[in-house]
Structures are given as structure tokens and as C-alpha cells.
Amino acid sequence: MTQKTYEFVRVERAGPITTIILNRPEVMNALHSPAHFELAEVFDAFAADPEQWVGIVTGAGERAFSAGNDLKHQAGGGKMGSPPSGFAGLTSRFDLTKPLNGIAMGGGFEIALACDLIIASEAAIFALPEPRVGLAALAGGLHRLPRQIGLKRAMGMILTGRRVTAAEGAALGFVNEVVPAAELMAAANRWAGLIRECSPMSIRASKDAIHRGLDEPTLEAAIAGQFRYPGVAAMFGSADFVEGPMAFAQKRPPKWSGS
């Protein structure tokens, strides 16, 4: 099948891993409305493709992962708006059970926060600087960051718009690993490879249960309710659910089908 090409995004596939590359390096991969809609289409395709199990989101060029919103486009009266799935076609996408790794060179913090893992360059800088330009981080940043690092730490970043290094991001808990810039993609693929070793159905069930469970009022409710979550039900009905224990009993590597 011929893979569609886009103006502001590149998509590369290697086995079950899809790499999504924000492709506006001339503006540090800042995103405008046309890019949001292209990315929405890309993530729709990734979610719907049963042969793609893990996604990596990164940016073209060496200057930035993404500088976030293209303020010059906005100030110049360019077309505004984003799809229902949100900024970068991702930040309001709450039904994607496939795991995503965010590869950060800087900026685009709300996109990175919408990913499941963040692998950062030693030179990466993170911030929610919107209050410094009369805006607010309404693409999920104001809600994801407190949930991921706690209220006081998040307020310290949000109310000042201050810049946080990759090392501090790791200490705060929103960065999984910090590596030299030259090793970013190798690290991302290493993480993706570890995820690939697991059953895709189990990974999706786990992600589904985690996110839905966090919305439950109590731990007891989360544990009691997890068996009705779609991802968990799909895992129980899958071929992988049979293959995993069988492979263990036969002392061989499992052959995951993702179904």
C-alpha cells in the first residue's frame, strides 16, 4: 500500500513502529492549523493500523522538537483552529491505547506531555510559557502537568512560565531518560524495542486501565472497574492472551499477533 505524503509531517515505519516527524524545521517545528489537521490524520491512521504497535513522535532538524504554537502565524492573521483531537492532532485524543514515545529537543511541551514516555536531549528545555505572551496552556498542559508531577511543582512552572532543563524534568518526574542529542533516536528505539517485547494487547490494556483508573474517585473503584475497560476486555479475548502463557510453559519466545 502506498504511504501518503504530507506537507508538514513525515511518517516512517519500521516493522510495527511508526515514527511521526514534525516537519517545519524552518520555524523550529512550531505548529499551525494546517499542521494540526495533517497530524490528526496521521494519528488516526496509526490508531487504525493493526500492524503498527508503537509510535515515536519527534521533530525535524536539530534546533527543537517543537516550539509549540506558531505565534507568528497567529499574529499575521493566519488560519487558526485545530481538529477535535486537539493540538498536534494529539492533545485531546483520549482513546489511543497504543503507546507513544515523545522525543524532545525542546519546546512543544504539551505534545510531549500527551505522550506516554518522554526521552529528552541533554540540551532540551521544557516550559509552559503561555502567560508570558498573554495566553494559557489550554492544550492539556494545565491539566496533565499537575497530574504527572503534583500540584505545587506544576504551579511553580505554570505561574512563572519558567524554563526547565531536561535534568530537572527527570528529577521532577516527567522525563523518563536524558541522553546526548546524538543518541536520541537510538534511545527512543531502544524503549520502543522493549515495549515490542511485550504483548501489544497487554500494553494497550495496561495503558487503558491506567488512564481510566486515574479518573475513578478511589483506588478501590479503579481496581473494581478495570475489568469493564475496553482495552482489558480486548486483552482477555485475544490470541496474545493464549500465546503468552503457552510460550512461557514451552520455554520459548512468544509470537505476538497483536490481536
Please tell me which residue in 12, 130, 177, 220 is annotated as part of the active site: 130
Is residue 110 annotated as part of the catalytic site, yes or no? yes
Q: Give me the helices (H) in the chain, please.
A: 33-48, 71-75, 109-113, 141-149, 151-158, 166-172, 184-196, 200-214, 219-225, 230-236, 239-249
d(CA 144, CA 134): 20
At which residue does the C-alpha cell 508538514 appear? 8
Is residue 51 annotated as part of the catalytic site, yes or no? no
Greatest pairwise CA separation for the chain in angstroms: 64
**The three cell numbers locating residue 160:** 512563572
Please tell me which residue in 41, 51, 110, 243 is annotated as part of the active site: 110
Secondary-structure percent of the chain, ordered helix, strand, coil, rounded to 5: 45, 15, 40
CA 157 to chain centre: 20
d(CA 246, CA 203): 18
117-121 and 9-14 strand pairing = unpaired
Catalytic residue annotation: 110, 130
